[in-house]
């Protein structure tokens, strides 16, 4: 007569074990969107010389204010994230991480509360190893304590880097932090650096395993504010797309690194192409710029709701390179959740504008005999196109066309 309760207990125990050992936080159902300190502000700690651009609570509050007031929050950007160089050089007397007392005098909990009061979420940076990449305390040997500290502060997202660490222990260490985060009871979106380090050492990457423990994961090197950097990341995704595409889904996404739209290194065409490609890849959209000083054109690119909708499509599918035309043009197709709908990006790598002739049938786009195309960068209807008939498409130099396709 005790058999049924015993079976229920065993089932409950197995469920708890599964939850504690794998990532099951219900987060990142679509790629996370937000803002991040690193590429624009790096490790600037000199607040006396650079009070507006040093890594500080004032910088974070300024960005939270801009995200709330200037339309970014309403467009879906919700995480306000610290990268490296926020912490004190030493842990406190109880062994806990602490913010730099001069640059974060109000404390990390107060900063999180401020960001939350703006209807936004707070993200923070840690490191899997003994030290962060800039020499601040890492989490090695402190996974449980650090996870609970982050939860106590009200952290909503953790980026865990991998400097000063042992490559042979990653498959053990990253899951340890996953378990520690789960044990806090607070949903914390988990971004890992795991695959990029494996790539750096020439080791095989098991994306299926990584997707069990991380919501998002950095796949390649840090982005820089140059067109060549953007292309190098895209090229790596091309080489790895067969392994990456199967694990891109609600809860787990490949991360090509930050958006540098609004910085100084890209032209308008390149910025549009960068944003279109990150959206077709179902990538996290984490801006790395100064929202207090951004051009109208850059702001319009980042707030393009039609392109964002492709990125945030609930299917969570990563787009695929389906056609390369010469050395200049790549054509990417991303399936969308609505039946027979998709998104297409024509990416022109070279400085000169070019015209290509291609049929939708060549791109394996399925909408019977004809499709309706809308240019979602320029917000104009292109009209119906017969699937088997070639049409000419003009693409700006180092730029992109992006279409929403439906029957």
User: Following CA atoms 234, 310, 194, 103 in sequence, which dihedral angle do they give, to the nearest 10 degrees?
Assistant: 100
Looking at 92, 222, 235, 369, which residue is catalytic?
222
Residues 6+ apart with CB under 8 A from 284: 31, 32, 33, 191, 216, 253, 255
Check 100, 161, 257, 330 and give the catalytic one: 161
Nearest one of 71, 67, 69 to 34, comparing CA atoms: 67
Residues 196 and 209: their CA atoms lie apart, in Å, by: 14
CA-based radius of gyration for the chain: 22
* SS3 of the chain: helix, strand, coil, percent, to 5: 35, 20, 45
Instruction: Tell me whether residue 161 is one of the annotated catalytic residues.
Output: yes
**C-alpha to C-alpha distance for 147 and 282, rounded to whole angstroms:** 27
Please compute, for residue 291, the number of CA atoms within 13 A of its CA located in the half-sphere on the CB side.
Answer: 27
* Residues 358/279, Cβ–Cβ less than 8 Å: no
Q: Which residues contact 308 (CB under 8 A, 6 or more apart)?
A: 33, 75, 76, 279, 285
Question: Which string of DSSP letters, residue by residue, matches 54-122?
Answer: SSSHHHHHHHHHHHHHSSHHHHT--EEE--SS-B-SS--TTS---B-TTT-TT-HHHHHHHHHHTT-EE
CB atoms within 10 A of CB 16: 10
Q: What residues act catalytically? A: 161, 222
């Amino acid at each position: 007569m005790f058999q049924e309760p015993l079976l229920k207990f065993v089932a409950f125990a197995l469920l708890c074990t599964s939850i504690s050992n794998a990532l099951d936080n219900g987060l990142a159902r679509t790629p996370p969107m937000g803002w991040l300190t690193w590429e624009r502000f790096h490790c600037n700690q000199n607040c006396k010389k650079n009070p507006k651009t040093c890594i500080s609570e004032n910088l974070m509050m300024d960005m939270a204010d801009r995200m709330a007031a200037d339309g970014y929050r309403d467009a879906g950007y919700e995480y306000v994230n610290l990268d490296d160089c926020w912490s004190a050089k030493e842990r406190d007397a109880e062994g806990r991480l602490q913010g730099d007392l001069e640059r974060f005098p109000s404390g990390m909990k107060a900063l999180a509360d401020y960001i939350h009061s703006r209807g936004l979420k707070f993200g923070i940076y840690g490191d899997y190893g003994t030290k962060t990449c800039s020499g601040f305390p890492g989490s090695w040997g402190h996974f449980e304590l650090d996870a609970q500290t982050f939860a106590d502060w009200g952290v909503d997202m953790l980026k865990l880097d991998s400097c000063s660490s042992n490559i042979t222990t990653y498959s053990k260490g990253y899951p340890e932090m996953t378990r520690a985060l789960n044990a806090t009871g607070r949903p914390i979106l988990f971004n890992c650096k795991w695959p990029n380090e494996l790539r750096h050492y020439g080791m095989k990457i098991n994306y299926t395993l990584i997707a069990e423990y991380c919501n998002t994961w950095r796949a390649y090197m840090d982005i820089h504010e140059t067109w060549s950097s953007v292309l190098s990341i895209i090229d790596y995704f091309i080489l790895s797309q067969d392994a990456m595409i199967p694990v891109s889904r609600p809860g787990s996404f490949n991360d090509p690194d930050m958006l540098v739209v609004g910085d100084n290194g890209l032209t308008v065409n390149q910025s549009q192409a960068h944003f279109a490609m990150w959206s077709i890849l179902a990538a996290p959209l984490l801006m790395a710029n100064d929202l207090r000083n951004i051009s109208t054109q850059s702001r319009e690119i980042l707030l393009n709701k039609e392109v964002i909708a492709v990125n945030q499509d609930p299917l969570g599918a990563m787009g695929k390179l389906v056609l390369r035309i010469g050395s200049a043009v790549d054509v990417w197709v991303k399936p969308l959740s609505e039946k027979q709908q998709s998104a297409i990006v024509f990416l022109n790598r070279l400085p000169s504008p070019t015209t290509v002739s291609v049929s939708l049938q060549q791109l394996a786009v399925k909408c019977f005999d004809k499709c309706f195309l809308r240019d979602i960068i320029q917000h104009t209807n292109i009209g119906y196109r017969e699937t088997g008939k070639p049409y000419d498409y003009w693409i700006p130099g180092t730029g992109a066309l992006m279409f929403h396709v439906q029957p």
